[in-house]
């Protein structure tokens, strides 16, 4: 594979759940790339489909009820969506690993942590001797900032604090030197000082291990610290994507603008976006954000999700009609919905 190819390419991914309440359109046509060595943050409010997107990559979702109904996921040149579970087992924990929000659930209380980390190595690296595995486990614990690693390998999970458990899980995820680490809200369950330490650790190990990272979070605040690029999701769709600089300096989609407004210290009057996500089983027509968008016009409420339009730079795009032909994006900066909705015969103040 040429190094110019993205490491991961998600293209038109649709992952639905077949439930008693009907089909849940959790991920509904999501595309993004992850370059080698890059950190991509997937952000969006709770329920927007971030976890389902990231868990579709290695198919660690419950299937059924989940199903990848459309789209492709290419990793290092190979299609993942058509792989069998057995084939994916060779990739999971080896070339692609996950870390999750709650470190409690990731460790088995009855086994020593060293053994649990070593297990991953024994599965994927059967060429290593027992001694080599132990040496590598100590080294991993040491590199993830566990003091006195050579003594701690023989401790049980309950002997570790929450932050230290997360370090153990990070060590486990790194054991086989993965190309891609998927971190889903890895700091949310930890207290604030520990959160900062874990974020710093993730940054350091990314350089050291030269891997790509997908960082899933609903907290836009941490994104600017850790990510190179941001994918903003809403209701199973990508609203905007760009470099951290693009998205923070020049947010394009009204949804992203609203999210940034909500950040503490941004001077926004609100700390939540008014309204709530549409039902996952009954998404609105047109732009998924249109029912909550103060700028929504008739065009926004009909058809499908608007195409991704380029915004100012090659690296920046948004799924919003205001960046397409016949619209003036400057209208999004007026701060008043009334002017913009004058063209809209169905203007209803953005609610419905």
Ligand X SMILES: Nc1ncnc2c1ncn2[C@@H]1O[C@H](COP(=O)(O)OP(=O)(O)OP(=O)(O)O)[C@@H](O)[C@H]1O
CB of 337 to ligand X, least distance (A): 27
The smaller minimum CB distance to Ni ion, of residues 183 and 300, is found at 183
Give the count of beta carbons closer than 10 Å to the beta carbon of residue 311: 23
What are the residue ranges of helices labelled H in 184-290?
A: 192-209, 220-226, 244-249, 254-261
**How far apart (Å, rounded) are the C-alpha atoms in residues 254 and 309?**
14
Q: Name residue 243's beta-bridge partners.
A: 229
- DSSP 3-state of 287: coil
Q: DSSP character for 211? A: -
Checking DSSP bridges between strand 229-234 and strand 237-243, what pairing results, if any? antiparallel
Contact partner, 340, from Ni ion, ligand X, none, Cβ < 5-8 Å per class: none
Nearest distance from residue 136's CB to ligand X, in Å?
Answer: 32
- Please pick, from the candidates 20, 62, 127, 333, the single residue that binds ligand X as defined by CB under 6 A: 62
Nearer to ligand X, 40 or 337 (CB): 40
Say how many residues make up the chain. 352
Shortest Cβ 119–ligand X spacing (Å): 27
- By CB under 6 A, what part of segment 63-92 binds ligand X? 65-66
Looking from the CA of 214 toward its CB, the CA atoms found within 13 Å total: 31
Stretch that binds ligand X, among 19-27, 152-160, 221-229, 268-276 (CB under 6 A): 19-27
| Binders of ligand X in range 199-218 (CB under 6 A) | 218
* DSSP-derived secondary structure letter, 291: G
Total residues at interface with ligand X (CB under 6 A): 17
Residue of 10, 153, 169, 280 interacting with ligand X (CB under 6 A): 280
Q: Which of 49, 118, 306, 350 touches ligand X (CB under 6 A)?
A: 49
Residue pair 169/160 in contact by the 8 Å Cβ criterion: no
Task: Tell me if 52 contacts ligand X by CB under 6 A.
Answer: yes
123 vs 279 by CB, closer to ligand X: 279
Question: How far apart (Å, rounded) are the C-alpha atoms in residues 297 and 346?
Answer: 7
**Residue 52 binding result from Ni ion, ligand X, none, given CB thresholds of 5 to 8 Å by partner type:** ligand X
- State the Cα–Cα distance between residues 35 and 48, nearest whole angstrom: 23
The CB density around residue 77, as the number of other CB atoms within 10 Å, is 10
Mask for 41-80, x = binds Ni ion (CB under 5 A): ---------xx-----------------------------
* 101 lies in the binding site for Ni ion (CB under 5 A): no
> Which among 32-40, 50-58, 171-179, 268-276 is the span making contact with ligand X, rule CB under 6 A?
50-58
Select 49 or 350, whichever has its Cβ closest to ligand X.
49
Q: In whole angstroms, how close is the CB of 305 to ligand X at the nearest point?
A: 16
Could you tell me the two tokens for 135? 């040496």
Choose the one of Ni ion, ligand X, none that binds residue 65, judging by a C-beta under 5 to 8 angstroms depending on kind. Answer: ligand X
Helix pair 162-174, 130-143: axis angle to 10 deg: 130
Q: Is 94 in the site for Ni ion (CB under 5 A)?
A: no
Asked whether the beta carbons of 184 and 46 are under 8 A apart, the reply is no
| Helix, strand, coil share of the chain (percent; to 5) | 35, 25, 40
Contact residues: Ni ion, CB under 5 A? 50-51
Contact residues: ligand X, CB under 6 A? 17, 19, 24, 26, 44, 46-52, 62, 65-66, 218, 280
């Amino acid at each position: 594979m040429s190094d110019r190819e993205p490491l991961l390419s998600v293209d038109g991914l649709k992952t639905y759940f077949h439930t008693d309440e009907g089909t849940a359109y959790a991920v509904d046509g999501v595309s993004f790339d992850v370059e080698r060595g890059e950190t991509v943050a997937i952000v969006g409010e709770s329920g927007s489909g971030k976890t389902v997107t990231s868990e579709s990559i290695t198919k660690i979702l419950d299937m059924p009820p989940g199903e990848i109904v459309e789209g492709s996921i290419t990793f290092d040149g190979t299609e993942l969506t058509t792989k069998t579970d057995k084939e994916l087992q060779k990739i999971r924990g080896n070339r692609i690993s996950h870390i999750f929000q709650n470190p409690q659930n990731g460790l088995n209380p009855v086994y020593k942590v060293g053994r649990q980390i070593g297990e991953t190595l024994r599965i994927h690296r059967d060429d290593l001797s027992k001694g080599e595995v132990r040496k590598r486990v100590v080294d991993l614990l040491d590199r993830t900032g566990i003091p006195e690693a050579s003594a701690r390998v023989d401790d049980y999970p309950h002997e570790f604090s929450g932050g230290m458990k997360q370090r153990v899980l990070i060590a486990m995820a790194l054991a086989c030197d993965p190309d891609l680490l998927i971190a889903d809200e890895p700091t949310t369950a930890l207290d604030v000082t520990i959160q900062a330490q874990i974020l710093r650790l993730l940054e350091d190990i990314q350089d050291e291990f030269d891997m790509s990272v997908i960082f899933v979070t609903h907290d836009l605040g941490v994104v600017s610290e850790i990510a190179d690029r941001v994918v903003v999701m809403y209701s199973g769709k990508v609203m905007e994507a760009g470099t951290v600089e693009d998205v923070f300096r020049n947010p394009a989609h009204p949804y992203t603008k609203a999210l940034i407004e909500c950040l503490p210290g941004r001077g926004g009057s609100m700390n939540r976006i008014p309204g709530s996500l549409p039902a996952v089983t009954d998404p609105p027509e047109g732009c998924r954000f249109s029912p909550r968008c103060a700028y929504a016009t008739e065009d926004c409420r009909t058809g499908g999700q608007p195409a991704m339009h380029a915004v100012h730079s090659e690296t920046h795009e948004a799924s919003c009609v205001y960046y397409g032909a016949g619209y003036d994006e400057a209208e999004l900066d007026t701060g008043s919905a009334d002017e913009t909705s004058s063209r809209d015969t169905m203007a209803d103040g953005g609610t419905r």
